[in-house]
Amino acid sequence: MGRDSKYMSGGRRVAFLITFLIVTFTLVGSGYWVLNFVRNRTVAESTERTVGATQNVMAMQDALSPIYINYIVRTDNYVSAESYVAMAAYVQQNVETQNVQVLTGLAPSEIVGYMMNHVVGGMGVDCTYCHSLENFAADEWEDEVAMANKVKARQHLLMSADLNQNWLTKLPALSDQKQPSGAQITCATCHNGVPKPEPWPDEQVALPDDYRLPLNNLDVLLVNARDDISLDAVQYNQYTMYHMNTSMNVGCTHCHNSRYFPSYERPAKDYSVMMLEMSEHIWNEYGETFNGKEPSCLMCHQGAIIPPGAAVSVDVMPEALVPASTTQ
């Protein structure tokens, strides 16, 4: 059992290392190319060729990313030439990681790979959104906004680890008829390429614009087969079901037996209840980092059963953010 667990963990780490080393070598090479380019060309020529290189990279990246579900990762849309050069210099100067509090166990080049794929690609931001280019490991510098963003980023990395390790791991035990996809929560899962995701649209079709999930009292949704509920409670349930329908692009029978709605015979119903409980946990534990916006089903699912932007499996994620390997 122990040896099997060790081999599984080693295999996952090898897959992770291969994925991120490829990205990292590309980034480092690009950084040195940009540095040499800036040194040996005029400003006008530099601008023209940088734009051309960016367009070429974008053309190569138009395919769906192999590390995400139905998601295109673009980095050169957001990362400046200065950031590439600074990253290359930082990796060259630092053999060991500095001031890493969450992504432990990774080399500097692997940290860069994760940041480019998951943070830049998932949020659509430049390195300076959270870092000082003079010292990527710094927690204090002149940009107070970026300093605050770095603090929040650490909190959200911890949240991702919490959800992957303590919540998604519950799914297999909920049903022997439905096995989870293995998808993992990462930056792109919620952010979908924007720095500040909007969990609730300004106008909600067929719903009151002030409708929100009852994350302070999920019991209001447990009304099936009861005769002691009010019409207001029934209406709230209808709102919630419609929110789920549109968020995941499914009909009622995805979770319900249409001939007897109180039944739990369809495993997706157990999944949805657990996801509501997970959303409640997110709001209670991390709500202060959500800019006052409560989580919603739409925020992650974006019209799909498996959220686009979710990482395909634990193999493309750092071990610090995913469940530990277990033997079968």
pLDDT, average across residues 271-279: 96
pLDDT of 4:
54
Amino acid at 25: F
Q: Assign 262 a pLDDT band (cuts: 50, 70, 90).
A: confident
What is the per-residue pLDDT across 62-116, written as a single tens digit (0 to 9) for each? 578 899 999 988 887 899 999 999 999 999 999 999 999 999 999 999 999 999 9
Share of the chain above pLDDT 70, in %: 80
Length of the chain counted residue by residue: 328
The CATH number, out of the four listed (1.10.3470.10, 3.40.50.970, 1.10.468.10, 3.60.70.12), of the domain defined by the range 193-307:
1.10.468.10
What is the per-residue pLDDT across 41-55, written as a single tens digit (0 to 9) for each? 434 444 444 344 444
Whether 194 and 123 have beta carbons less than 8 Å apart is answered as yes
pLDDT of 223:
74
pLDDT of 63:
74
- Residue 293 gets the label, from left (phi > 0), alpha (psi -120 to 50) or beta, of beta
- Residue 239, pLDDT above cutoff 90: yes
Q: State how far the alpha carbon of 202 is from the alpha carbons of 198, 208, 237, 247, in Å.
A: 9, 10, 21, 15
The CB-side HSE value for 283 (13 A sphere, CA atoms) comes to 20
List every span in the chain annotated with CATH 1.10.468.10.
Answer: 193-307
pLDDT of 168:
97
Neighbouring CB atoms inside 10 A of 327's CB total 11
Q: State how far the alpha carbon of 245 is from the alpha carbons of 107, 193, 255, 262, 278, in Å.
A: 43, 23, 10, 17, 18
Q: Assign 36 a pLDDT band (cuts: 50, 70, 90).
A: low
Q: Assign 277 a pLDDT band (cuts: 50, 70, 90).
A: very high
pLDDT of 74:
83
Torsion, Cα 194 212 157 18, to 10 degrees, reads -60
Contacts of 125 by beta carbon, 8 Å cutoff, 6+ apart: 78, 119, 195
What is the per-residue pLDDT across 129-143, written as a single tens digit (0 to 9) for each? 999 999 999 999 999
Task: Give the whole-angstrom CA distance, residue 322 versus residue 163.
Answer: 9
Instruction: Report the predicted TM-score, pTM, of the whole model to 2 decimal places.
Output: 0.80
Whether 127 and 120 have beta carbons less than 8 Å apart is answered as yes
